[in-house]
Structure 1
Amino acid sequence: MTYTNEIKIVLADDHKLLRDGLRNIIEQKSNMKIIGEASNGREAVKICSKLLPDVVLIDIAMPNLNGVEATSQILKINPKTKVIALSMHSTKQFIQRMFHSGAFGYLLKDGDSEEVICAISTVIRNKKYLSKDINQEYLNLLKNKDTLGKSKLSSREKEVLQLIAEGNSSKEIGEILCLSSKTIDVHKNNIMKKIDLHTIPELTKFAIKQGLTSL
């Protein structure tokens, strides 16, 4: 199937230089247009809810809300959006979590410009795309469970855990999520019980290991 309409794209990455580079690559194609940019996951969700893009290129490791959780929220708003993950990581864990969140493509950041266009052209035809430098058999990971799912953390708890790891206080997290600091403390206690970790350094290490933050 050939997609004949103009492809509306949102770029989400906390590095402006990378967004500028992607924009220069993509806008050379007459049927592709960048309609919005975001520098963190929460901003990406907000922009996508307003603009309803066809494709989103999103960095996995972004501040405030990582690409995995942002992807889940974007697709709840508009399930037709095709999300392509951008990452420096080619490990099974990251690939698995992104595809389980609903992503349709996975691109390594050290890929070439032609691959970016190829990935967009592929997912818009409702086909999954995995970076050519990654073992294509990794797509079989879609049959397995999300590795972080073993911790039994809810989406809200994952958000709170990331913000804790990034050094935010309960009050600051509450302001970001529009919740009271007491509610955040309840989430924090639940997180500690579920994963059996009881200090901020331990929680931070866990969040980094699970790919919730790149600190």
Structure 2
Amino acid sequence: MTTPQPSNVKVVIADDHKLFRKGILELVNDFEGFTVVWEAEHGKDLVNKLSPENLPEIILLDISMPVMDGYQTAEWLTKHYPEIKVLALSMHNDDNSILRMLRCGVNGYILKNTDPSELEKALRTLETDGTYYSSRVAELAIKCLHHKKKEVHPDLSEREIEFLKLACTELPYKSFAPLLNIHPRVVESTRENLFKKLEVESRVGLVIYAIKNGIFKIE
């Protein structure tokens, strides 16, 4: 059975390297159902060009840009246009850069040297599922949550324990699905089940429970 393709997803590219932008523009326009509608040289340029009349569905966002970098831009977009999906497309492969962008609220992260097929997969997954992280990024995020001593919590499932660990980070809930390899709706149901099971009413309550019960340790 053939997966239905998106009708016409509007994409914007924010990157200070003109040649790279043009290459990505041609690549994305060759993907069925995706169209680059405009480009931006840096975050400030992107912010100035955005308006309710020309909002894209997806923004491909570089990190190292002058005037307003990718971190600042991602935070601004998360605050002002949370409905826009942001895919970080960067040369930065270090742990700090990746985790910092995740904390800024991006919906996905892939490297600039990735194969074009992964870029297409990322765009399609973003449109259908809302998030996409490469295996490198997912492994990094999960690695940061594991601790040397394994605690036993018979009343909680393995998924619930991993969910609680993620809740103790600054990552938004929307990042949990690809990291736990579950559907976004399962993120919501897991959160609600934990609220009831642990008798808490907020993420703060989840964090307090995780710390008190040794699920998450402050280094």
TM-score bin, normalised by smaller chain = 0.5 to 0.7
**1:134-145 to 2 correspondences below 5 Å:** 134=136, 136-140=138-142, 143-145=168-170
- TM-score when normalising by structure 1: 0.61
Counterpart in 1 of 2:38? 36
Distance 1:98-1:135 versus aligned 2 partners, 3 A rule: closer
Question: Secondary structure of the equivalent of 1:102?
Answer: coil
Q: Which runs of 4 or more aligned residues in structure 1 lie more than 6 Å from their structure 2 counterparts after TM superposition? A: none
Give 5+ residue unaligned stretches, structure 1.
147-215
Counterpart in 1 of 2:48? 46
- Give the drift of 1:5: 3.3
Q: Deviations over 1:1-29 (max 9, x none)?
A: 96633110000000011111111111112
Counterpart in 2 of 1:76? 79
Does 2:94 align with 1:94? no
2:38 & 2:78 partners in 1: Cα distance?
Answer: 17
Counterpart in 2 of 1:4? 6
1:81 & 1:135 partners in 2: Cα distance?
Answer: 21
- Give the drift of 1:124: 1.3
Q: Deviations over 1:7-59 (max 9, x none)?
A: 10000000011111111111112310111100111111222335211000010
Distance 1:90-1:34 versus aligned 2 partners, 3 A rule: same
Counterpart in 2 of 1:124? 127
Say whether the 8 Å CA contact 1:13–1:39 is kept in structure 2.
yes
2:39 & 2:126 partners in 1: Cα distance?
Answer: 19
- TM-score when normalising by structure 2: 0.60
2:28 & 2:16 partners in 1: Cα distance?
Answer: 18
Distance 1:135-1:54 versus aligned 2 partners, 3 A rule: closer
What is the percentage of aligned positions where both structures have the same residue? 33
Q: Taking CA–CA contacts closer than 8 Å with sequence separation of 6 or more, which of the two structures ends up with the larger relative contact order?
A: 1
